Structure 1
Amino acid sequence: MTTEAPAVSAPADELPPAPPSRALEVVVRAAGLALAVLATVLTAALEIFLSPLRLGGVPVGAAILLAAVANVAISWFAVTTVGRRWALAPPWTVWTLIMFFAAGTRTTEGDYLISGEDWVALVMILVGSLTFAAYTYKLILRRPPVTKQ
């Protein structure tokens, strides 16, 4: 003797769930872009602080690796959450402006956050900017999906 669960049917007056509203989509996209820019500010500051890191007097170069990995992740996140290629521009712009500010502004003691003699910091700026550029180039080469009509 087998026992079967009775089949449950949905009431006829129930409607299927409504698709998400356009307002919710805009909020999620704006929040994704804001989060990408915030992550850019935080990782840029961390990269600047890691650039003079040395072990036994030898530069470590952790800032270079962090710049490459973080900028790829931020690029992917911005483009994925916003759903548009232009979403890469705000994080790239913010990151570049932070690096320009750090390289061109003196502290109260007269030091630069990024000096011209710190090769790790200079390579970090190069690699970080090229990471954004390479991701943008990859997006340009990728063809948009073809939709059948």
Structure 2
Amino acid sequence: MSVAPQEQLPQPPRPARARRFLDVGLRVAGGTVAVVAGAATAMLELLLAPLRIGGYLVGVAALVAVVANIALSWFAIETVGRRWAVALPALPWVVIMVAAADRTTEGDVLLAGDWVGLTLVVAGVMAFAVMGFRSIVAGPLTPGRY
């Protein structure tokens, strides 16, 4: 009984060195944009946290946090091409929120412990957590598909 030799499948062409360099450069640029955007949206949300209409807190900052953090997580995963990239916008966002909740030497607090501040932090962190969990469960990461 003879066994047929296995056929060698043709190997896909390796990308040129310049193309690989461009790909890495774009991934690094996308990751950098995600980090800067995470910090920028945290500052925007801190500015929106004390927003009042008719003397009542509105809480629009929490809605902005959820939408922005979901969009930033998606952007980071798509541009970097790795699942761990969800941490790129999450880290500066969390650091800024923790720093904003601490009292300064002058006694100022950027993020008060009212319902808007608590909802903002919980909703923002949960948006990052859900996107991170979703990227883990989603299966193999292919270009153009989240």
Say which SS state the counterpart of residue 21 (structure 1) adopts.
Answer: helix
Aligned to 1:111: 108
Distance 1:145 1:95, change over 3 A: closer
Structure 2 CA distance for aligned equivalents of residues 145 and 126 of structure 1: 28
Distance 1:21 1:101, change over 3 A: same
Amino acid at match of 1:113: L
Taking structure 1 as reference, are residues 137 and 47 closer, same or farther at Cα in structure 2, changes over 3 Å only?
same
- Structure 2, unmatched stretches of 5+, are 1-14
Letter aligned with residue 119 of structure 1 = W
Residues of 2 paired with 1:142 and 1:58: CA distance? 41
The aligned length equals 127
Mapped partners of 1:24, 1:143: distance in 2: 26
Identity across matched positions, percent: 47
Question: CA-to-partner distance for each residue in 1:25-50, whole Å, 9 max, x for gaps?
Answer: 11100000000111111110010110
Show the counterpart of 2:137. Answer: 141
Partner of 1:37: 35
Q: How big is the alpha-carbon RMSD for the aligned residues of Structure 1 and Structure 2?
A: 1.7
Partner of 2:57: 59
Letter in 2 for 1:129: V
User: Which segments of 5 or more consecutive residues in structure 1 lack a partner in the other structure?
Assistant: 1-17
> Which residue pairs with 2:5 in the alignment?
none
Checking the alignment, whether the CA contact within 8 Å between 2:81 and 2:141 is kept in structure 1 is no
Corresponding residue number in structure 2 for 1:121: 117
- 1:67 deviates by 0.1
Q: Measure, in 1, the Cα distance between the counterparts of 2:34 and 2:88.
A: 9
Query: Quick check: which has more Rg, 1 or 2?
Result: 1
The question of whether the paired residues in 2 share the 8 Å contact of 1:106 and 1:113 is answered with: no
TM-score (norm 2): 0.81
User: CA offsets, 1:54-99, max 9 Å, x none?
Assistant: 0011111110110000000100000000000011112111111110
Question: 2: distance between equivalents of 1:145 and 1:30?
Answer: 18
The separation in 2 between residues aligned to 1:65 and 1:121, in whole angstroms, is 12
Is this contact kept in 2: 1:107–1:113, CA < 8 A? no
**Greater than 4 Å deviation, 4+ residue runs:** none
1:26 maps to 24
C-alpha distance in 2 between matches for 1:103 and 1:59 = 18
